[in-house]
Amino acid sequence: MNPLDLFRSGMDYISIASHLNTTEAEVERQIHRLRQEEIDEAARQKAERIEAQRRRDEEARAKADPVRLDLVAARKAYNARNRAYRATGRLA
C-alpha cells in the first residue's frame, strides 16, 4: 500500500514511516504528491467532460444551421490534422 492509502486507513505519519522504513518527512512528501496527482487527475477529467459537452452542444447547433455544419466539419478536419502533425511531426 502507498502512504496515502495507509494514512486514509487511520495510520499517522510516524507509524507509516516505521511501516515503510522511511522518514516522516518523506512520508509527508509522498502523501502530498499522491494527493496532488489525484487533484490533477480530477481536474483533467472535468476539463474533458466540459470539452465533450461543448462539442456536443456545438454539433447540435450546427445541425440546425447548414452553414455552421460546414464550419464544424472544417474545424474537425483541421483539429485532426493538427493532432496528427503534433504526433508525427509531418503534415498529413
| pTM over 0.95, yes/no | no
How big is the CA angle at 23 (ends 19 and 24), to the nearest 5 degrees? 90
> What percentage of the chain carries pLDDT values higher than 70?
95
Sketch the domain layout of the chain as residue ranges.
Answer: 3-88
Is the model's pLDDT at 49 over the cut of 80? Answer: yes
> What percentage of the chain carries pLDDT values higher than 90?
60
Alpha-carbon distance of 92 to 85, in angstroms, equals: 7
Give residue 66's identity as a one-letter amino acid code.
P
The mean pLDDT of 45-60, rounded to a whole number, is 92
